[in-house]
Amino acid sequence: MARIALALSFLLLLSGCASQSSLVIQPYSELAIEVPEKMFSSVKMRDGELVFLRNNRVVGFVRSEEIPSTVSSSSAIDTSTTLFESANQGSSKPIWMEQIPEAQVFGVVQGDFRTVFIVPNGQAQSLVTFQGPAESSTSLRINGEMISE
């Protein structure tokens, strides 16, 4: 009887934890991206990026790359403003994400996907790009803050 109760308690604990789970990705010491587990069923590394899969189909990615010196500046605000203005030239208009500590963040929704561009305040020459399904990427957290438009 004790074994059944222990097994049942363990299952309840697992089910409670599973509904709250997220994958935390930390490309830089001052930047943490929490991706909700409901967005993917597996993760794979491919060509320097972390790829999210659902039922063996790519549904998103996170990648970090250096920004060319022709675009980057010494401050994350200036670098992200330049990138924002460049993105604003496209058909889908970018939107600044509010109140993300330690980073400058903007995003674009195009079709069913949201792309979020992150320039960490301490890494003005670096760009972290997240892309995922628009409906589940609203649960994305950056440095503990839910992204909001």
CA 98 to chain CA centroid, nearest Å: 15
* pLDDT at 108 > cutoff 70: yes
> What is the total residue count of the chain?
149
* pTM across the whole model: 0.81
Q: Which of 120, 130, 82, 129 is nearest to 100 (CA)?
A: 120
- Percentage of the chain exceeding pLDDT 70: 85
Mean pLDDT of the 7-14 span: 38
pLDDT band at 38 (very low <50, low <70, confident <90, very high): confident
For the cut 70, the answer to whether the pLDDT of residue 34 exceeds it is: yes
Strand partners, 129: 63, 117
